[in-house]
Chains A and B, each alone.
Chain A
Amino acid sequence: MTNSAEAALQPNGGVRQEAAPAAAGSGPKRTARRRVRGFKAAAKDFALGAALPAAALIAWQSASSAGLISPAFLPSPLAILRSFARLAASEQLLHHLLVSMGRAGLGFLLGAAAGLLLGLATGLFRKAQYLLDPSIQALRLVPHLALAPLIILWFGFGEASKVAIISSGAFFPLYVNTFLGIRNADNKLFEVARVLGFSPGKTVTRLVLPAALPDVLIGIRLSMAVAWIGLVVAELIGSQSGIGFLINEAKQNMETDVIFVGIAVFAMVGKLIDSLMRAVERKYLHWRDGYQG
Chain B
Amino acid sequence: MNQRTAAAAGRQPGKGSLAALAAILPVAALLLWEALGHYGMISELLFPTPSTIARAFVSLAQSGDLWIHLRISSVRALSGYALGGGLGLLLGLLVGLFPRTEKLLDPSIQMVRMIPSLAVVPLFILWFGIGEQSKVLIIAKSAFFPLYIQTFLGIRNVDNKLFEVAKVLGFSRFKQIFRLVLPAALPHVVLGARLSLGLSWLGLVVAELIASSSGIGYMMSDARQFADTPVVFVGIFLFAALGLLTDSLLRLLEWRLLRWKDSYKG
Contacts and interface: CB of A to CB of B under 8 A. Distances in A.
Contacts of B98: none
Contacts of A15: 102, 156
B114 interface: yes
B104 interface: yes
Contact of A7 (B11, B102, B153): B153
Query: B interface, by DSSP: helix, strand, loop or mixed?
Result: helix
Contacts of B121: 236
Contact of B122 (A50, A248, A271): A248
Given A131-B21, A150-B233, A232-B119, A143 B150 contact: no
B229 A14 contact: no
Contact of A148 (B127, B156, B209): B209
B177 interface: no
A250 B110 CA distance: 27
Nearest to A260: B123
Contact of B119 (A134, A145, A262, A271): A262
A153 B46 contact: yes
Interface string B112-134: 00111111111101110000000
Contacts of B106: 12, 49
Interface residues of B, number: 65
B123 A266 contact: no
Q: Indicate the size class of the contact surface on chain A.
A: 35 or more
B3 interface: no
Interface string B12-50: 010000100111111000000000000000000010000
Contact of A233 (B118, B125, B195, B198): B118
A13 B239 contact: no
B108 interface: yes
Interface of A: 3-4, 7-8, 10-15, 45, 48-53, 73-74, 126, 130-135, 138, 141-150, 152-154, 228-229, 232-233, 236-237, 244, 247-248, 250-251, 254, 256, 259-260, 262-263, 266-267, 270-271
25 contacts: A4-B191, A4-B192, A4-B195, A12-B106, A126-B11, A130-B22, A135-B25, A138-B26, A142-B240, A144-B202, A145-B202, A146-B239, A149-B209, A149-B221, A150-B224, A153-B229, A233-B118, A233-B209, A247-B122, A256-B126, A263-B115, A267-B115, A267-B116, A267-B119, A270-B114
